[in-house]
Homo-oligomer: A and B are copies of this chain.
Amino acid sequence: MKNMLNMVIKPVWAHCDLMCGVYDPAQARIEAQSVLAIMQKYQESDDEVFRQRCIIIKEKRAQLAKEHLWVLWTDYFKPEHIEKWPELHDLFWRATKQAGETKKSVDPAEGEKLLELIGEIEEIFNQTK
């Protein structure tokens, strides 16, 4: 518990819609991991109902990854961050477009590309703290 409460006492403050949000790229990453896992399971299965459910659930998980990325971009990052990392806008644009790609495809390589882009965002995010 200690570690966790420490983290709470110094949370990742940011100017969110309430001016007090807790941001964490982990939310997008968890959904993207789920997308990748679904793609892998899809490839390994030949059960028609199972594969249809993969498409349905992947659609939702990819959408959630997209939404978590959008919130991070608009609500967490501030003008001084954009000045320091001018590539941020384009990085988020490509990452959210890639989340869209993972809806269209069942190729795990597309899921891995999404995770790599989220990883690049995560690296910048960690430097802002």
Point out residues on A near B: beta carbons under 8 Å: 1, 4-5, 7-8, 11, 13, 16-22, 24, 26-27, 29-30, 33-34, 36-38, 40-41, 49-50, 52-57, 59, 66-67, 70, 73-75, 82, 89-90, 93, 96-97, 100, 103-106, 112, 115-116, 119-120, 122-123
Contacts and interface: CB of A to CB of B under 8 A. Distances in A.
Contact of A38 (B18, B104, B112, B116): B18
13 contacts: A4-B29, A5-B115, A5-B116, A8-B33, A8-B115, A16-B100, A20-B38, A26-B26, A49-B106, A52-B52, A57-B59, A70-B96, A75-B100
Contact of A30 (B17, B26, B54, B93): B26
